[in-house]
Structure 1
Amino acid sequence: MTWQSGTDGSTKTVRAAEARHRAAALLADLNPAVQETMAADVLLVVSELVTNAVRHGGGVAGYSVTVEEGSVVVEVTDRSTRLPSVRDTGELVPGGFGWPLVCRLAHTTLVRPHASGKTIQARLPLHRVGR
């Protein structure tokens, strides 16, 4: 199962709320159902990656959530070649927690730079109810 946006080269703005809604609908259609905590983790990763693409990456150029055997794969493509970074935790300014959070929740993350930006992939383990 997959939900994706932006593969046609469009510049339609994807907002975090829309991306979460689409991901939640995809997860809700799974049988057997996924654990609530796992679904919450996926939605948090979706929010963080889409928000970071909008705030720091020049906007979302593509977005997908795919359910593969044993995993949920979230991919967000943006228009910036700047790689994610971790802020020094000693700084007393808001923000800077999204990327470390994504890295903690996902069992793997991959950043693929390309000529017009980058694609970030986060793979989360799929835990189903009753398994």
Structure 2
Amino acid sequence: MRVAWGGLAVFCLAFIVFEAVKHGWMAGVSALAFLILPDLTMLIGAREGGGGRISPRAVPFYNAAHRAWVPLLLLVGYIFVPIGGVPTWTAGLAWLAHVAADRAFGYGLRERDGSRRVRAVTADR
């Protein structure tokens, strides 16, 4: 599964480069912002975290920003109502690339206490 996420991340990043070259600096700036933006949710209540955890107050925001369906909705919405032009398109691609890269590297959602969610490893996998 991690290989599939990695493939999606590479595809999105390549598409972002294509769009940024084609449409100019504004597409590149929006892509760069949305590559970074999902992780900025960790700064909510930053002093309360520690030991690899984020603040419990930040968990709902972090988890919402790291679900793949959120940028997918943005991309599908852009297809039907192209508000904002190319920066909106590249922002959605960059956000999806961020989520896919996190999954490819093994970073997932967070537990309520802010620790990383651990998947159960079963013998049949």
Band of TM-score, shorter chain: 0.3 to 0.5
Structure richer in helix, relative to its length: 2
Q: Which has the higher contact order (CA 8 A, sep 6+)?
A: 2
TM-score normalised over the length of structure 2: 0.34
Q: Whose Rg is larger? A: 2
Structure richer in strand, relative to its length: 1
